[in-house]
Amino acid sequence: MAVKNENGVFHLDDIRRHRLIETIERIMKEKNFTPTQLAKYCNLQQPTIHRLLSGQTNDPRLSTLLQIAEHLDITLDELIGKRVFVSNKLAVRNVPVLSWKEAITANDIMVKLNHNEWVNWVTTDIALSEKAYALYSKSCMEPRFPKNSLLFVEPDLDVRDGDFVIVAFKNADEVAVREFATDGPKKAFKPLMGNPDDAILFNPKEHEIEGVIVQIKYDLARK
């Protein structure tokens, strides 16, 4: 996670630092920038950019991150990977489709995934991590998710109030979709249908959030 202290410094964990570097490098590639050119473009010293790209610092100043985000025309959350950065350039990529049972062990599957052997793939035009995958919606999810909807899941995002998340319940043999809700310190999962008062309080011993749904596409071929 990313935490800002009273001195305006962000402390980035390994995931956020990796996402920061990944985002900057992707934009550099699109703009055909060298690190020196990027530093000049953002009105920063070249050593500052070098330390960020080389991972030498995990506590960049907030003012530095805001300056980079402003000049690259993205938000701070997109820069550090809290929200998915959607490139202005269309960059279509393939994402594997998992079953709801396979998604229980999605992280292990994605680490060991053989791209030449996996059969079921779908395309997306948004930027996702290498851990991302897709699921086909179930009929019981209608009308919230129409039949044959593709749900693209990003495991590397911080969860926010109102996000639709993939949840693994203890002892369940497949994952489920719930709406994540916060009320002060309380965190809960709302059902897709039915009474919102039937929400279940989040218990890290009983529930594990596997990812956030970041895109929904309707697959006509599955009709």
Q: Among 79, 101, 131, where does a domain finish? A: 79
Among 90, 110, 203, smallest CA distance to 153 is for 110
Using CA atoms, how far residue 35 sits from 19, 45, 46, 48, 184, in Å, is 17, 10, 7, 10, 42
Asked whether residue 87 is assigned to any structural domain, the reply reads no
Q: Do 8 and 74 lie in a common domain?
A: yes
Distance CA 133, CA 150 (A): 10
pLDDT at 63: 85
Amino acid at 34: T
Same domain (yes/no): 150, 218:
yes
Residue 116 is assigned to a structural domain of this protein: yes
Is 189 or 118 the better-scoring residue by pLDDT?
A: 189
Q: Exposed, middle or buried by CB within 10 Å (0-12, 13-18, 19+), for 209?
A: buried
Bridge partner residues of 136 (DSSP): 150
Describe the strand order of the beta sheet including 164-169 as a list of residue ranges: 133-136, 149-154, 207-218, 164-169, 176-183, 186-190, 200-201
**Do 216 and 108 share a domain, yes or no?**
yes
61 vs 84, which has greater pLDDT? 61
Number of domains in the chain: 2
Indicate whether 20 belongs to any domain. Answer: yes
pLDDT tens sequence across 139-153: 888 888 888 899 999
Alpha-carbon gap, residue 168 to 219, rounded angstroms: 25
Give the model's pLDDT for residue 1. 43
What range defines the domain where residue 202 resides? 93-222
Q: How far apart are CA 223 and CA 205, in angstroms?
A: 39
Tell me, yes or no, whether 25 and 128 share the same domain.
no
In a domain, 211, yes or no: yes
Q: Please write the tens of the pLDDT for every residue from 8-17.
A: 555 666 667 7
SS3 sequence of 139-191: HHHCCCCCCCEEEEEECCCCCCCCCEEEEEECCCCCCEEEEEEEECCEEEEEC
Do 18 and 124 have their domain in common?
no
The per-residue pLDDT of the chain, averaged, comes to 82
